[in-house]
Amino acid sequence: MIGLISATAAGAAARDRLAAAWPDRTRVYEGPAGEAVRAAFAECDRLVCFLATGATVRLLAPLLGDKAADPGVVCVDEGGRFAVSLVGGHGGGANELAYEVAELLGAEPVVTTATDAVGLAGLDTLGLPVEGAVAAVSRALLDGEPVALEAESAWPLPPVPFAGQGAYTVRLTDRDVQAGPQEVLLRPPSLVVGVGASKGAPVEEVLGLIGEALREAGLSVRSVAELATVDAKSEEPGIVAAAERLGVPLVTYPADELAAVSVPNPSDAPLAAVGTPSVAEAAALRRGGELLVPKRKSAARPAMATCAVVRRPGRGRLAVVGLGPGARDLLTPRAAAELRRASVLVGLDQYVDQIRDLIRPGTLVLESGLGAEEERARTAVAQARKGHAVALIGSGDAGVYAMASPALAEASDDIDVIGVPGVTAALAAGAILGAPLGHDHVSISLSDLHTPWEVIERRVRAAAEADIVVTFYNPRSRGRDWQLPKALAVLAEHREPGTPVGVVRNASRPDESARLTTLAGLDPATVDMMTVVTVGNTATRDIAGRMVTPRGYRWQHAPEGAR
């Protein structure tokens, strides 16, 4: 929960904007600022104070204890110009909150954490439990000293400029080891604990068994990703409470699925009780992995709990990211976040240039020229299969005439794939022209490099006969100069010569140009590959120089009062 505190009318107005935008995330604290800050500090995990920074510091000072446990605090000035990450930038989530608050209020985020200030991913922001000399190793990274990564398994980490060797080390391990004086341990969520229990098994017995199994195997409890069991035990109090205390989800499977899992230690007892010869081992192994701890029983007599431990390999992560049509403010926040998260970036060189300032130090950039789409897709999938966090970029929306389809054609279920939508060229051009896409519309690429012209022409004809607004992508190049005239001729068989046509070149970019013409008046020679051509239907109109396709057709000729 985010506590909101203000002391003035202006602060209260900005506070109420946050409260309205985040009704389920925020709580407003009324009354004197000192009392409100004390109450919110005790009850919330983050605070936004609409106060001067000096006043906020004085109010917070007596309350601060452990930076690992204190809430993060963001301070917003009276004019709403700045959202300052004041306390708990990483551990308390204040840095992230400052960006969110700034975006919502139209303010400037102020983040002074050293790693964030220079674009480095903080070791305590990688999404994994961290132990050891975090400050010392972070300082070494900031000072450009070599920091080695020792990964005992592949894991999709965000970018950090690691070296092959160095006096400082970051070790990725799920083993129960202690960090050295110049070492940081990252704990990947690689362990799955399968659990079985008799009815009424105490939570202490379940937790004691899990802890003992992990200790004897030399494994860290901080790398436990989930507890797993059979559906019939999904509400068993001892198992549910054990997952809650460990802070991990409880995952359950149907008995017939577990019965199909090959295990080393099946038993007749669970088969009779819940319909599968194995619960602990089968649940741990259900999604694959290496069995590190075979089924073992608790020490109680009679034993009421069993467990098994499996290590799952890290899965690579492929984010297919749409960059939008070109303007930075049309790049979505989600796309920007994925670019910062990726340790490997794959893309067309000119698209990489667009977002090069967003690439974090340590990111491996694999760029290539035009015409290598399939190769880029194969490269991105191959990098993800090595366990990396990969971003494959494309313009507009990655799923529209872009990289998503060739990438997904290469990918199998051995990696995680995340699609990040973007603003398409058709949408950007439509917004510039007016509202040409107000009713049914279709996008058609006129490039016959991958699609036979006969298929393209059939689609154009179908759109013409159905009276659908058409946006042409890839309309004309030096080597393909006859396709656009042919497509326009097909449309002209079903539409009047005066049908509005919008022509937009480099939509949303500095050299953007746009014009409104007609089906008869369009000169195909003025169109190139950077242009989007939108042809209206029989209802599309030129209204005050804007291209408009009405949302409904019936109101066009209705009396004013009947609309």
Distance CA 448, CA 446 (A): 6
Q: How, if at all, do strands 130-132 and 183-186 pair? A: antiparallel
Is residue 366 within 8 Å of residue 393, measured between CB atoms? no
CA-based angle 235:241:243, to the nearest 5?
Answer: 95
**What is the layout of strands, in order, in the sheet containing 46-50?**
26-29, 2-6, 46-50, 72-76, 82-87, 108-110
**pLDDT tens for each residue of the chain, 563 residues long:** 999 999 888 888 998 999 999 998 899 999 898 999 999 999 999 999 999 889 999 999 999 888 778 899 999 988 889 999 998 887 788 888 998 899 889 899 888 876 666 677 778 778 789 899 988 998 888 888 899 999 998 899 888 888 888 899 999 999 999 999 999 999 999 999 999 999 999 999 999 999 999 999 999 999 999 999 999 999 999 999 999 999 999 999 999 999 999 999 999 988 888 899 999 999 999 999 999 999 999 988 899 999 999 999 889 999 999 999 999 999 998 999 899 899 999 999 999 999 998 998 889 999 998 888 899 999 999 999 999 999 999 999 999 988 999 999 999 889 999 999 999 999 999 999 999 999 999 999 999 888 999 999 999 999 999 999 999 999 999 889 999 999 999 999 999 999 999 999 999 999 999 999 999 999 999 999 999 999 999 999 999 999 999 987 565 554 444 33
Q: Is 411 helix (H, G, I), strand (E, B) or coil?
A: coil
- H helices, E strands: number in the chain: 18, 28
Q: Examine residue 406 and say whether the peptide bond preceding it is cis (omega within 30 degrees of 0).
A: no
Instruction: Report the alpha-carbon distance of residue 126 to residue 506 in Å, rounded.
Output: 37
312: Cα separation from own chain's centroid: 22
Q: Using CA atoms, how far apart are residues 205 and 303, in angstroms rounded to an integer?
A: 9
Residue 468 and residue 441 in contact, taking contact as beta carbons nearer than 8 Å = yes
* Best CA proximity match to 533, nearest among 443, 401, 400: 443
* Residues facing residue 472 across a β-bridge: 444, 533
Report d(CA 364, CA 410) in Å as an integer.
21
Cβ(484)–Cβ(527) under 8 Å?
Answer: yes
**pLDDT on residue 334:** 92
Helix (H) or strand (E) holding 35: helix 33-43
Buried b (16+ CB within 10 A) or exposed e, 102-141: beebebebbbebebbeeebbbbbbbebebbbbbeebbebb
pLDDT value for 558? 45
Could you list the beta-strand ranges (E) of 177-313: 183-186, 191-197, 224-230, 250-253, 290-297, 305-311
434: which 2 tokens? Answer: 């007016």
pLDDT of residue 554: 60
